[in-house]
């Protein structure tokens, strides 16, 4: 009777097809259409698929980049929905994740996203956690990419 099978198993290859299948025009449509909750879910699904088989896991550069975009998306979503505490946390996480990929990565223009987060952060710093968005109308740069 075998209790524990310690035989070595071959690891499946990383799911690199996730990145080759990313249609940045889809991302741009959701970002530019302020469909940020939907975009976060879209990015998170691809991030999860990418890290599932990657030997680097969450340290995979492409996965880290997708996660940084998801953090930036949530920051913009949260500030518009009176969750300034969450927005501040996501801004900090997004800046840390995306800074190393600036000015461009995988064809995505990262610097405009970082610039928007840098401008927004000090406006949120003095707000109560559930205050409304400090900007009306709330605008942020369009999602830009090189196809």
* Chain segment 47-63, per-residue pLDDT in tens: 998 888 777 888 889 99
Contacts for 117 with CB less than 8 Å, ≥ 6 apart: 72, 75, 91, 94, 95
How far apart are the two ends of the chain, measured CA to CA in Å? 57
136 within domain boundaries: no
CA distance 99 to 136: 27
106 within domain boundaries: yes
17 within domain boundaries: no
77 within domain boundaries: yes
Please report where in the chains the tokens 């740069």 appear, as a residue: 141
The pLDDT tens digits for 94-144 are 999 999 999 999 999 999 999 999 999 999 999 999 999 998 889 999 999
How many structural domains comprise the chain?
A: 1
């Amino acid at each position: 009777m075998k209790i524990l099978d310690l035989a070595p198993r071959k690891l499946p290859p990383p799911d690199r097809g996730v990145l080759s299948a990313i249609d940045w025009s889809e991302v741009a449509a959701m970002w530019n259409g302020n469909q940020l909750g939907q975009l976060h879910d879209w990015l998170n699904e691809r991030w999860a698929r990418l890290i599932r088989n990657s030997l680097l896991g969450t340290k995979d550069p492409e996965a880290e980049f997708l996660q940084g975009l998801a953090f930036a998306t949530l920051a913009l979503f949260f500030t518009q929905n009176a969750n300034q505490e969450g927005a501040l946390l996501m801004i900090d996480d997004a800046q840390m994740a995306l800074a190393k990929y600036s000015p461009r990565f995988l064809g995505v223009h990262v610097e405009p996203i970082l610039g928007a987060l840098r401008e927004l952060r000090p406006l949120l710093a003095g707000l109560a956690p559930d205050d409304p968005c400090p900007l009306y109308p709330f605008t942020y740069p369009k999602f830009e990419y090189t196809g």
